[in-house]
């Protein structure tokens, strides 16, 4: 799980090296990060140097317009899979908890979560990102890793790692802005800055209760056994 210093981006890391059934996840195949809207020239060079062939962007249209990815000229295929059931702002306005957000994503974006797994399966090396790389990216990558046979504790630890990789100055600025807009919201800090392991474990427990598990959930929405087998061959050595 190596972290890459990519100027202008944050929370940028390789999910290689995680324990999985029969081996470990390959390095240099699947990356995850926050948005690429502030990449410097050096950051673009870093992304190019990783050989990334596809980007899976989970942001909605407004987010992409506000912070367009600075990857022009790199020849990278971008797949847009907006993954919120409702706007990002509505999650703050409705004062949703992390558990609420993840339940909304699981219930409202199942087809997109399957599409994200397929997008990773089709082309590598591949980078999955949203705005922060915490919630939509966290859930998508967690399901992809689970489908590849990665140990659940390792999947959850990878999700939880984001909290330590978010820039303090970014957190403070976003929280200050949102507290002014939503002074009575109780869950702002969790939504903006936190990725507690128990939140993803609760998702997996819920999927076990309702579907049989995270892999069964993906299969319920069309991800096939052959695709799962190919994903494991692709991601695990």
Question: What residues are annotated to the active site?
Answer: 130
The 8 Å CB, 24+ separation contacts for 174-178 are 178/92
Q: What is the Cα–Cα distance from 133 to 129, expressed in whole angstroms?
A: 5
Give me the sign of the Cα torsion angle 19, 21, 25, 31.
negative
What span, in angstroms and rounded, lies between the C-alpha atoms of 129 and 152?
A: 21
> Max CA-CA distance within the chain?
50
Neighbours of 67 (CB within 10 A): 15
d(CA 195, CA 187): 13
Residues 6+ apart with CB under 8 A from 88: 60, 63, 131
Element housing 13 (H / E)? strand 13-14
């Amino acid at each position: 799980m190596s972290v890459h210093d990519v100027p202008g981006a944050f929370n940028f890391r390789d999910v290689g090296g995680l324990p999985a059934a029969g081996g470990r996840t390959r390095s240099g195949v699947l990356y995850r990060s926050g948005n690429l809207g502030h990449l410097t020239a050096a950051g673009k060079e870093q992304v190019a140097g990783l050989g990334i062939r596809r980007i899976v962007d989970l942001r909605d249209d407004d987010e992409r317009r506000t912070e367009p990815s600075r990857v022009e000229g790199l020849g990278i295929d971008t797949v847009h899979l907006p993954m919120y059931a409702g706007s990002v702002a509505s999650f703050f306005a409705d004062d949703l908890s992390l558990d609420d957000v993840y339940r909304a994503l699981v219930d409202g974006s199942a087809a997109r979560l399957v599409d994200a797994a397929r997008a990773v399966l089709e082309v590598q090396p591949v980078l999955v990102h949203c705005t922060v790389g915490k919630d939509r990216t966290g859930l998508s990558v967690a399901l992809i890793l689970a489908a590849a046979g990665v140990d659940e504790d390792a999947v959850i630890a990878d999700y939880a790692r984001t909290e330590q990789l978010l820039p303090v100055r970014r957190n403070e600025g976003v929280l200050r802005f949102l507290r002014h807009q939503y002074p009575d919201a109780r869950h702002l800090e969790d939504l903006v800055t936190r990725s507690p392991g128990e939140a993803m474990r609760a998702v997996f427990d819920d999927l076990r209760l309702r579907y049989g598990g995270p892999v069964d959930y993906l299969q319920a929405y069309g991800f096939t056994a052959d695709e799962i087998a190919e994903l494991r061959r692709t991601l695990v050595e």
